[in-house]
Amino acid sequence: MSHRAPHSTASGLLFAIAGFAILSVGDGVIKSIAGAWPGLAVAALRYVLGALGLLLIVLAREGRAGLACPMPWVQLGRGACVAVATMSFFTALFLMPLAEATVVMFTAPVITALLSALFLREPASRATWAAIAIAFAGVLIVLRPNVATLGWAALLPLAAATAMGCLMILNRMAAEAGSALHMQLLISAFAAPILVVVAIAGHASGVEALEVGWPAWRVVARCALVAVTASVAHMLIYLATTRASAAVTAPATYVQLLVAGAIGVALFHERPDLVALGGAALIIVAGLVLWGAQRRASGAEAAS
């Protein structure tokens, strides 16, 4: 039985914290574009730039082997999930407070557990079902003022979280199909054209808010910045998993909430009320309950 050295575990935790913090910084950059360009177009440009950048890196590191597409239908599904999650979340960021949209995204692991139990017939413990109930109670509390103001649009973060839950299941199917960098390229390569088609359809719909004009250089620069920071963040998170166990790195995800909340207050003057904070706390508790249940299940499997 191997044990990770303390310095390796510590560095893994630091990589995870840095990666998740950078993701929230990128979300703040996206929110700063609100009103300058449609959310669908921003999502499309972000992934087109990301796919091109990843393509160059993969070709340099893996050569033509990096262009292979194992399990193409699964890769298409992964790309479609990311496309739906991105367009939903970016649009939500334009309409809602950053921290509230972010905290609803933290239901993705709980949704994954629910989908696994319903469709993959994976056994779910009482703790898992409790986490699901707690999480959705928290979502109802967090979204309550936005539903009254925005209507169905307030559910966009939940749609994004559901798409991410589906992605997690498809990721299991694609495990070991290629390197982490290769798998990241395939997601971007499939998501980008889907997002471009959706942005064009939005422009053709005649809805003024979806009309795509020529973007200002600031918009392009910010989309490029987010493409780079997101790739760096995911790479840091991947490196974290190679240095520390999931049990150590998983709680670091909550750094996203702290950073998102700080950005919301400092840059966008968003101050969640006590009720919203209570709903966010329920979602965090649900995530920790689920994390604990999964740790116990993994420990039981390892002991048997």
Whole-prediction pTM: 0.86
Tokens of 128: 């898992």
What is the rounded CA–CA span in Å between residue 173 and residue 70?
Answer: 11
Per-residue pLDDT, 37: 94
Contact criterion met (CB below 8 Å) for 139 and 107: yes
246 pLDDT more than 70: no
* Paired tokens of 280: 């966010």
- Under the banding of pLDDT at 50, 70 and 90, the label for residue 294 is confident
Distance CA 32, CA 237 (A): 25
Which is it for the CA torsion 260, 28, 170, 119, positive or negative?
Answer: positive
How confident is the model over 73-99, as pLDDT tens digits? 999 999 999 999 999 999 999 998 999
Instruction: Say if residues 290 and 124 touch (Cβ distance below 8 Å).
Output: no
- Residues 38-63 have pLDDT tens digits of 999 999 999 999 999 999 999 999 99
Lowest mean pLDDT among 7-21, 101-115, 155-169: 7-21
Q: Which of 130-144, 183-197, 244-258 has the lowest mean pLDDT?
A: 244-258
One-letter identity of residue 200: I
pLDDT at 7 over 70: no
Asked whether the beta carbons of 128 and 290 are under 8 A apart, the reply is yes
- For residue 1, the model assigns a pLDDT of 43
Contacts 24+ apart (CB under 8 A), 240-243: 240/12, 240/13, 240/15, 240/16, 240/19, 241/12, 242/12, 243/4, 243/8, 243/9, 243/11, 243/12, 243/15
